[in-house]
A = this chain, B = another copy of it.
Amino acid sequence: MEYLATSPLLRSKNAQLIEDAVDLVASYPAIPITADCVIFGFEENQLKVLLIRSDLVQYKGLWSLLGDIVYANEELDTAAYRVLRQRTGMDDVFLEQVKTFGCPERHPGGRVVTVAYASLLNIQHHQLKILDNELHWHNIDHLTDMAFDHKAIVDECYRWLQKRIQEHPLGFNLLPEKFSLRELQNLYEAILGQPLDRRNFRKKFFAMDFLVDVGEYEHDVPHRPGKLYKFDFDKYEKNKRKWIGIDF
C-alpha cells in the first residue's frame, strides 16, 4: 500500500523510512469514489432492480443505479447504507460489497471510481417509502441501455446474486414475512432463470429445517391455498455452515 517515490525495484532495505505519512498521502493523486447499490426486489414473480433516471444531460432518459458520492471520512459500507436509507427508507437490510469499478472513462465528467453493493429488499414492505416517481422497479431481464457502466454493474451483481443464493438462502429478504412455498420457488426460479422441480425443491427446503409453519393459508387464490411459512433465523444461523453449496 505504501507509495514509493522511486521505482519499487530500486528500493532496498537501506531506503529511508518515510517520516511524515500525512505529507505522503497528500502527494497521492485522489479520485472521487461513489457507492452504487444494486437493489434487487421481487414482485409478480419477477426479479427486479431499483433504478432512477440519470440526472446527467449526457444520459438523459437513461436509467441508472442508486448511488452517491462517498464522503471524505465515510466508510464505504456506511455510504452504501446511506444510499439505501435515503432512497428506500430502510436501514435494516442486507447489503454486501460486490465489486469496485474503476475504468477511467466510466463517468463522462471525469474519473470516478465506484464500489458496487448489492442488496435485496422486499417490495411490499418498502413500496410506501418510494414516492419519487423517477424511481422504478425494472425487470432484470428487460434492462435497456443504462447510464454510465451501470448495465455491466447490474450484470455483475446479478451473477453474484445467482451464486450467493445457492450458498445462502438469503432469498427470504425478498419475500413477505409469511410466504408460501410456491412464492419461494418462484423467487428461486426467477433469480436462477430456470424452472425447478417442485417436489425436490420442497424436500430440500424442508430438509434445511428453517421453515416454520405458521398455521395459516393463502387467501383469495383460485386454487387450493398453500400453507404459509416463515423463516427461522436462529435455526438458520446455527446450521449455516452446512449449506455452503446448495445445488438446484
Residues of A in contact with B (beta carbons under 8 Å apart) = 1-4, 7-9, 11-13, 15, 17-26, 28-34, 36, 53-58, 60, 64-77, 83, 86-87, 97, 99-104, 107-115, 131-134, 147-148, 150, 245, 247
Tell me the nearest residue of chain B to A105, going by C-beta: B73
Residues of B within 8 A of A86 (CB): 7-9
Shortest distance from the beta carbon of A12 to any chain B beta carbon, whole Å: 6
Residues of B within 8 A of A13 (CB): 53, 132-134
Shortest distance from the beta carbon of A165 to any chain B beta carbon, whole Å: 14
Known: A1-B65, A12-B134. A70 touches B31 (CB 8 A): yes
CB distance B245 to A111 under 8 Å?
no
Residues of B within 8 A of A22 (CB): 108-110
A78 and B66 alpha carbons, distance in the complex (Å): 27
- Between A and B, 11 residue pairs with Cβ closer than 8 Å are A1-B36, A1-B147, A2-B54, A3-B34, A11-B55, A21-B107, A24-B56, A29-B69, A30-B30, A73-B111, A75-B103
CB distance B30 to A132 under 8 Å?
no
Residues of B within 8 A of A25 (CB): 32, 107, 109-112
CB distance A55 to B4 under 8 Å?
yes
Residues of B within 8 A of A9 (CB): 86-87, 131-132
* Most chain B beta-carbon contacts within 10 A, residue among A1, A11, A107, A109: A1
Tell me the nearest residue of chain B to A66, going by C-beta: B8
Known contacts A1-B148, A7-B86, A22-B108; can you find 18 more A-B pairs with CB under 8 A? A1-B112, A2-B147, A8-B68, A8-B83, A8-B86, A9-B132, A11-B132, A18-B57, A19-B57, A21-B56, A21-B58, A23-B109, A25-B112, A29-B32, A30-B31, A31-B70, A75-B104, A76-B101
